[in-house]
């Protein structure tokens, strides 16, 4: 005899709602760290859904008043250097070569992993400097340490395939130590070349959960990448007076993403009058990462 179990349809809907609500409640959301100090200045304009925003940036206020020594040392209230207790300068040996990197936070069992890839002339030390860029690197370090996360700032050989292989090996290593972690890669300036290469690789393109391009470049190959097919969130921060990577080019690339898919998870923040390094100084790490965590594949 065949048995059938009958369950009211409305009860199924209720159960699905409860499960969905539980999943949402369990989604990681970074707790605040000095949010009032790092909040964006006023928006000059923004589209309806916040995908494209123009921020009222002023060098006098956002550098000269924020820094004790302009561009070299931020005022003390913007930082908490106790985070150095969970900071290590490490060396990882990989098939792609040795990868020196600085790690802040949980090396195992992390809930979230954020990497910062420096631009031309930079090093792993740029991404952990507590006092430059308005204290914004100190903020991301503290955000990761306080939220059970891991922050990584590596050296790499170049901005080509070898450099990408080294960063991929670093990601692979720490992903194995934290298999449940969401992984986000932030790329400053020329480091963006590595962001796009990582998006295009089968391993990292299938693993990363978000890309942050900060005063960086564009790459049409993204549209055929595993990351694009997975709808990995992409954030662009760009100064309107960037003479290295013109804002018009990056805006055009951003719009080409939305043209291919109006619902693709991407955001663009334009810092009006900002220059090449402005997005690194001004990006709201917590707001951006929480948005990405809500959209991540």
CATH at residue 204: 3.40.50.1820
Is 18 domain-assigned? no
43-46 vs 112-117, strand pairing mode: unpaired
Q: How confident is the model at residue 49 (pLDDT cuts 50, 70, 90)?
A: confident
Closest among 267, 190, 257 to 227, alpha carbons compared: 257
Whole-angstrom CA distances from 147 to 30, 137, 151, 287 are: 6, 16, 11, 14
Q: What region does 51 belong to: left with phi over 0, alpha with psi -120 to 50, or beta?
A: alpha
The two structure tokens encoding residue 202: 């089968």
Is 46 domain-assigned? no
Per-residue pLDDT at 27 = 77
107 has a pLDDT exceeding 60: yes
Per-residue pLDDT at 15 = 41
Per-residue pLDDT at 19 = 39
Question: Is residue 229 a contact partner of residue 260, using CB atoms and an 8 Å limit?
Answer: no
Q: How confident is the model at residue 26 (pLDDT cuts 50, 70, 90)?
A: low
Which of 17-31, 208-222, 265-279 shows the lowest mean pLDDT across its residues? 17-31
What is the 8-class DSSP label of residue 4?
-
Q: Whole-model pTM above 0.85? A: yes
Per-residue pLDDT at 82 = 98
Q: What share of the chain is helix, strand, coil (3-state, %, to 5)?
A: 45, 25, 35
- Which range of residues forms the domain containing residue 252? 57-295
Question: Is residue 73 a contact partner of residue 32, using CB atoms and an 8 Å limit?
Answer: no
Is 3 domain-assigned? no
Which of 47-56, 150-159, 265-274, 279-288 shows the lowest mean pLDDT across its residues? 47-56
Is 145 domain-assigned? yes
Is 255 domain-assigned? yes
Beta bridge partners of 138: none
- Measure the CA–CA gap between 292 and 297, rounded to whole angstroms: 9
Which of 5-14, 125-134, 147-156, 248-257 shows the lowest mean pLDDT across its residues? 5-14
Is 38 domain-assigned? no
Is 114 domain-assigned? yes
- Measure the CA–CA gap between 247 and 241, rounded to whole angstroms: 7
Question: Per the structure, how many domains does the chain have?
Answer: 1
Whole-angstrom CA distances from 94 to 10, 17, 156, 159 are: 54, 45, 12, 17
- Measure the CA–CA gap between 74 and 161, rounded to whole angstroms: 36
Is 42 domain-assigned? no
């Amino acid at each position: 005899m065949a048995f059938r179990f009958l369950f009211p349809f409305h009860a199924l809907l209720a159960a699905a709602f409860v499960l969905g609500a539980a999943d949402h409640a369990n989604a990681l959301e970074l707790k605040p760290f000095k949010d009032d100090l790092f909040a964006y200045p006023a928006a000059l304009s923004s589209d309806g859904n916040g995908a494209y925003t123009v921020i009222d940036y002023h060098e006098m206020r956002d550098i000269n008043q924020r820094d004790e020594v302009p561009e070299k040392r931020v005022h003390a209230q913007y930082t908490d250097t106790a985070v150095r207790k969970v900071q290590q300068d490490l060396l990882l040996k990989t098939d792609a070569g040795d990868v020196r990197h600085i790690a802040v936070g949980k090396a195992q069992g992390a809930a979230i992993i954020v990497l910062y890839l420096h631009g031309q002339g930079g090093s792993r030390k740029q991404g952990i400097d507590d006092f430059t860029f308005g204290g914004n690197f100190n903020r991301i370090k503290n955000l990761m340490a306080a939220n059970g996360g891991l922050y990584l700032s590596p050296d790499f050989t170049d901005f080509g395939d070898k450099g990408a292989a080294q960063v991929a090996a670093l990601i692979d290593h720490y992903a194995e130590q934290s298999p449940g972690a969401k992984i986000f890669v932030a790329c400053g300036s020329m480091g963006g070349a590595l962001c796009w290469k990582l998006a295009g690789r089968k391993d990292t393109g299938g693993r990363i959960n978000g890309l942050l391009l900060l005063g960086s470049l564009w790459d049409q190959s993204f549209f055929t990448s595993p990351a694009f097919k997975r709808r990995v969130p992409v954030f662009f921060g760009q100064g309107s007076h960037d003479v290295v990577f013109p804002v018009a080019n990056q805006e055009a690339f951003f719009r080409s993403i939305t043209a291919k898919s109006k619902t693709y998870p991407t955001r663009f923040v334009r810092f009006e009058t900002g220059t090449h390094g402005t997005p690194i100084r001004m990006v709201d790490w917590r707001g951006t990462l929480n948005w990405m965590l809500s959209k991540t594949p």
